[in-house]
Amino acid sequence: MSEVTPTRKALFSVGLYREGLAQLKLPALLLGIVTVVLNALIPIVGWLSDSGNPFDGQSIEMIGLVGFAILYVYVAPIVLSLRLFNFGNARNRSDFYHGLPPTRVSLWLSFLAAIASWLVGTVVVAIGVSTGLYALMGAHIVLASIPIMIAFLGCGALYLCVATALAMTVTGTLLSNIVVTILIVCFPRYVSSLFASTVAAGVPNLPSSQVGLFNLRLSNTLFMLPSVFSESNIAGGAIARADNMLYTLALTVVLGAVGLWLFVHRRSEDADKSAPSRSMQLVYRVCVALVPALGIVATVSLNTGTLYVLSYAELWPIIILLGTLSAIAFCVFELLTTKSWKSLARALPSFGLVIAITWAFWAVAALDVRYETGFRPGADDIAWVRVIDTSYYHTDGSGEIFWDSEGEEESENNVDYAELVLSRTRISDSAVLSAIARQLAGKDTDRWSSVYDSDANYSLVEIKTKGGRSERRLLVESDSEGQSSPFALALIDSPELFDAILSLPTEKEVVSIQGIFLVPGQMVSGSAKATQLTQETWANIVAEYQTLDTQERYGLLFATRPLPEKSNETTSLAQLNNFNLTISSTQGLSNLKIDLQVNDEYLPQTTEFLSRKARDQIVAGLASPQSLVQENNVLAVYETQQLTNNNASKDPGGDALGSDAGESGEALISLRVPFQGEADDRYDFYVVSRKAYLQGLDIFGAALARDFDTEARYVAELTLNNPDRDAEEMEMCSLVWSISDAEAQRLLALGK
Amino acid sequence: MIQATTLTKRFGKTTALDSLTATVPEGVVYGLIGSNGAGKSTLLRLIAGIYRAEAGELTIGGEPVWENPRIKAQIALIPDELYFLPQANLSTMARLYRNSFPGFDQARLNELIELFGLNPYANLNTFSKGMRRQAAIILALSRRPRWLLMDEVFDGLDPIMRNLVRKLIYTDVIDRRATAVISSHSLRELEDTCDQLALLHQGGIIFESEMADLNTQLFKLQVAFGADSPPSLDAALFAPAQLNLVNFSSLGRVANLIVRGDREAAVAALDVLTPSPALVEVLPLTLEEVFLFEMEAIGYHFGEVLDK
């Protein structure tokens, strides 16, 4: 069946789309098959190398799912675009396609859609194959990461595909196709990076990442692809940031619109020519030559002035080398694309433009350096400041000044709640403004103005003047000896800052709370039941939080305290009295987290609420014991008097405990579900049959149905463990409950 | 009707068509002849909507062709330099045509493939030049175009295939009132094929004429003198006859005059000559002679070089 007659306004041609798909079949299938096979090999090789079940319970997300699809995203868009749009590289082909009835808009969009379909389809299949295989091998798939990874890779692939198509629209030979594609994708980023480095080199307290238009902190996902190797999980990470994907899509749409306009106005007779006009050819060769030429400015700036590294005598050879490279790139590009010595000779004078632009680049950077270094407002001139990032040079949180998170690494994937609130709070406290003004006015040699001490800690601060100027600067938080700077001390004393950071997210902003779904299978994340529990828990927390004073709120949110020991009071054993919750929230495009310890100390009512819920979950779990039969779950029996005299209950799997009752005088029995894998010395001692474990659960369940007996001689403790063996936190929950003497004896009998 | 009005097309500094005005009526076979670089192929690509003119207007049926899918769907261009997909066979190309051209007639394609005796599954790269052109003709005719544009269409075809192609063109023109515009340097082919003809030179039309008129308006007078013939014959001798003389040559007592105008009037005008011609014969010109004489008349000739 032939294509329906298109109209002038048609934006899309189904026939051309089908034709595009068909023409790409061979290269797309080849690339796709290679990607999918390589992706499939990763779990298969892992499985073969471990005859057991290598992925049992292991969480798979990010690179595990993506695998070689990353390589595909860098290669396939270019290959497929070169294949389908190469009609612009030969006159007869170009004439043929421009003679087709569909409009040029239809032709371009339909062919792009065909490439996009192959790209996205292959990414979906590659990730699908990885997911399927890992799931078959017993891995835990983080389902939420699948659409995110598809979107993440898809955005990058589409961007590269459109950039290549645009490049092919304004060129007409394979070499110029490729060179201009690289220029479109990389040149703006390269120039802006060089400019930022050059300016930052001249302004010590201005990080290069903060030099640029509009303080735009968005990234093209194409350049973020390698981060799947470095980020440990997807939640809240840069990869999952929708704004980066939207930014990439926006860039893609802009490039696409420009490409479409150029394609509509492209002359068929421009095929075979490296550029549609001499002026465009001039732009290309100048850009190519600027790559090494601009490097001269950056090299000189980075090695002289405030960041003195090399002397001019040492720099000259580098400058000459880069200059020569620039000239060579200029000539080689012209010669290879035009294949004409005459063209090269005619083009040579335009190398002057390269020199002129290089000087102009240097001049603009120098002017910007002067402008930035002149930013030393007095306290009265500053309208407000906000602390965008504390511990700017350190991502492990060790340099934070408001709370000590020593020993606990900050996850790069989540924005800390306090950090986010801090970054959004405009501080106009006069003491803070004065301290900042003093730091800005100081000399580099001043203790609190120098930013060259790699052991000191710094904050990135935005300073807004009353004149409307906004700048970002690095300010010293604390020196290498840990002494806080006047700026940091002023911040600590700022009441408006405290009010802000001690606020809590609203109910709508709280997405989930980890740590309350204790029993596997009893609560499915995202279900109505789970959502209700989240809302109820958060309502409890907020209500109780309102009753706390400032010190207590600060302590709850930020102070790091040792885990509270279980109370000596027997009654408290009736409760799960310590919950480590992670509140996940979303504010705007930011995902953030709050780590919260819920216990008797600050939030007793919430603790009681969660304990009750946990008990309900366990009781419900006992109705279907399969959910409580995890590999390392433990049901232990203790004499209450002996238990409260030591901390052994925290480690029922420790060597001091044995199944031979009374040997250690503490634990009478530990019932453990049969270990599924090979014998493990640590567990052998406690292994009982599955049947015995289930019988033990029945006994424990019967006890749970009664009120806690404060006079009971024995208590049983059910410890549920995380099924993921590799998870850092093994223990999920532990519930201690009174049992009768008879029940204790029956449990003891099970262990013998 | 294809109407080109003051059409100008430039390639850089080169002007391929310079204010060209021409009209191609419907239902005819229209021939384009001209010197190399006259703009024939450019004109065909402009008609096909591939190129856009810098100035002037090109319409088909009153509608502009550029970016007009409805009109372009009715046009088939067989260019001088053919294009086929890499590693394609006729079947693959048929897929491309089906996906791109409304009204592509698969039955017609099958019929033509059988008629030409080509293997639809053979790689087109393995075809000879003539077979590739046959394939292009098959694909173009299978679209059942209303406007068939052919650039050097007979190039590479053997005489039998030429006749077959001619017959197919005639069939489309007669049965479906299609219009064929054919450019060729093979004037002999065009002479036998075309209803109308345009001579292009340096981006402009030298003349546009129906074939029938062409043979009557430009003709050869062969004039033989008797014993009273002047010792040498030259054009000045014929000045009293006031002929529209395009070319003159002589051999002995015989003069050959290429004259534009009315035949009888020209013969009658010779009566004023002294001495009177012994014999006057009117001979029709071949298209090639017309081309040569017309081009020579505008200074496009290399006779002096060739004579050396």
Task: Return the residue of B nearest to A4 by Cα.
Answer: B102
Residue numbers of B between 255 and 284 with CB closer than 8 Å to A: none
B13 three-state secondary structure: coil
A23 contacts B102? CB cut-off 8 A: no
pLDDT digits (tens, 9 = 90+) for A627-679: 666 666 778 777 776 555 443 333 333 332 233 333 333 345 566 555 444 44
* pLDDT value at residue A665: 34
Nearest-angstrom CA–CA distance, A61 and A135: 11
Q: Which of B11, B83, B102 sits opposite A101 (nearest CB)?
A: B102
pLDDT by residue (tens digit) across A78-128?
999 999 999 999 999 999 999 999 999 999 999 999 999 999 999 999 999
- Please list every residue in chain A whose beta carbon sits closer than 8 Å to the beta carbon of residue B75: 99
Q: Could you tell me the end-to-end alpha-carbon distance of chain A, in angstroms, rounded to an integer?
A: 79
- How many angstroms away from the CA of A95 is the closest CA of chain B? 6
CB contact (8 A) between residue B98 and residue A3: yes
Q: Which residues of A touch B140 (CB under 8 A)?
A: none
Question: In Å, what is the CA distance from B196 to each residue of A75, A625, B148, B182?
Answer: 55, 95, 15, 10
CA distance A180 to chain B (A): 23
Half-sphere exposure of B299 (CA within 13 A, CB side): 1
The most distant pair of C-alpha atoms in chain B lies apart, rounded to whole Å, by 75
Q: How far is CA B22 from the centre of its chain?
A: 13
pLDDT at A285: 95
Q: Is B67 on the interface with A (CB under 8 A)?
A: yes
Q: What is the pLDDT of residue A490?
A: 84
Residues of A in contact with B49 (CB under 8 A): 98-99
Is the CB of B303 inside 8 Å of chain A's CB atoms?
A: no
User: For A14, which residue in chain B has the nearest alpha carbon?
Assistant: B99
Q: Chain B residue with minimal CA distance to A90?
A: B83
Nearest CB to B100; choose among A15, A95, A269: A15
Q: Is some CB atom of chain A closer than 8 A to the CB atom of B88?
A: no
| A269 contact residues in B (CB cutoff 8 A) | 11, 51
Which residues from B are below 8 Å from A2, CB to CB?
97-99, 101-106
* A185 min Cα distance to partner chain B (Å): 29
Closest CA to B143 of A98, A95, A99: A99
Give the pLDDT score at A672: 59
**Distance in angstroms (rounded) separating the CA atoms of residues B255 and B259:** 12
Chain B residue whose CA is closest to A3? B102
What is the pLDDT at residue B107?
A: 94
Q: What is the DSSP string of A93-144?
A: HHHHHHTSSS-HHHHHHHHHHHHHHHHHHHHHHHHHHHHHHHHHTTPEE-TT
Helix (H, G, I), strand (E, B) or coil at B284: strand
8 Å CB contact of B69 and A91: no
Contact yes or no for A631/A56 (Cβ under 8 A): no
Beta strands in A144-253 (DSSP E): none
With 50 as the cut, is the pLDDT of residue B258 above it?
yes
Q: What average pLDDT does the structure give for chain B?
A: 88
**Domain extents in chain A:** 14-276, 379-501, 507-611, 629-750
Fold classification of B215-307 is: Alpha-Beta Plaits (3.30.70)
Name the stretches of chain A with pLDDT < 50.
1-2, 214-215, 236, 394-413, 561-575, 645-667, 675-685, 725-729
How many angstroms separate the CA atoms of B220 and B209, rounded? 18
State the pLDDT at residue A679.
42
Tokens of A100: 């087709």
> Taking the domains of chain B in order of start, what are their residue ranges?
2-202, 215-307
What is the rounded distance in angstroms from the CA atom of residue B242 to the CA atom of residue B239? Answer: 5
Contacts with A146 (C-beta within 8 Å, 6 or more apart), sequence order: A65, A127, A131
Residues, chain A: 752
For residue A277, the distance in angstroms to the closest alpha carbon of chain B comes to 9
Residue type (1 letter), B17: L
| Contact assessment for residue A672 and residue A686, using Cβ atoms and an 8 Å cutoff | yes
8 Å CB contact of A99 and B72? yes
Rounded Cα distance, B169 and B148, in Å: 9
Contact check, Cβ <8 Å, B83/A2: no
From A19, A99, A102, residue closest to B96, measured CB to CB? A19
Chain B partners within 8 Å of A268 (Cβ):
45, 50-51
Contact list, A10 vs chain B (CB under 8 Å): 69
Write down the residue that tokens 């850009």 correspond to: A287
**Given a cut of 90, is residue B132 above it in pLDDT?**
yes
> Smallest Cβ distance to B100: which of A1, A100, A267?
A100
Q: For residue A75, what pLDDT is reported?
A: 95
pTM of the model: 0.73
CA B30 to chain centre: 7
Collapsed DSSP state (helix, strand, coil) of residue A533: helix
Q: How wide is the angle at C-alpha A303 spanned by C-alphas A302 and A306, nearest 5°?
A: 80
Nearest by CB to residue B67, choosing from A92, A104, A268, is: A104
Cβ count near A249 (within 10 Å): 17
Which one is the CATH code of B2-202: 1.10.10.60, 3.40.50.300, 3.40.605.10, 3.30.450.20? 3.40.50.300
3-state secondary structure of B186: coil
pLDDT on residue A659 = 35
Please name the residue of chain A whose CA is at the shortest distance from the CA of residue B78.
A96
Q: What are phi and psi of A27, to 5 degrees?
A: -65, -35
- Element (H or E) spanning A322, and its range? helix A312-338
Instruction: Give the pLDDT of residue A111.
Output: 96
Cβ(B99)–Cβ(A15) below 8 Å: yes
Q: Could you report the per-residue pLDDT of A285-330, keeping only the tens digit for each?
A: 999 999 999 999 888 887 765 555 667 777 888 889 999 999 999 9
Between positions 95 and 154 of B, the ones with CB within 8 A of A are 95-106
Put residue B242 in one of left, alpha, beta given phi > 0 → left and psi -120 to 50 → alpha. left
Task: Give me the mean pLDDT over the B117-134 stretch.
Answer: 93
Candidates B73, B79, B81; nearest CB to A5: B73
Let me know: does B64 contact B231? Beta carbons within 8 Å: no
- Is there a contact between B50 and A8 if contact means CB atoms under 8 Å apart? no
Among candidates B51, B96, B102 on the partner chain, residue whose Cβ is nearest the Cβ of A5: B102
pLDDT attached to residue A641: 65
- What is the reported pLDDT for B164? 93
The DSSP annotation for A140-176 comes to EE-TTHHHHHHHHHHHHHHHHHHHHHHHHHS--SHHH
- Report the alpha-carbon distance of residue A99 to residue A498 in Å, rounded: 69
Distance from the Cα of A93 to chain B's closest Cα (Å) equals 6
Q: Write out A79-92 in H/E/C secondary structure.
A: HHHHHHCHHHHCHH
Asked whether the beta carbons of A291 and A299 are under 8 A apart, the reply is no
Q: For position B56, what pLDDT does the model report?
A: 94
* A93/B83 touch (CB, cutoff 8 Å), yes or no: yes
**pLDDT band at B230, cuts 50/70/90?**
confident
- Chain position carrying tokens 């080109």: B4
Query: pLDDT at position B121, please?
Result: 94
Place of tokens 């004393």: A493
Residue A568's pLDDT is 33
Distance from CA of B44 to the nearest CA of A (A): 11
Question: Do A736 and A716 form a contact (C-beta atoms < 8 A)?
Answer: yes
Residue A100: closest C-alpha in chain B: B100
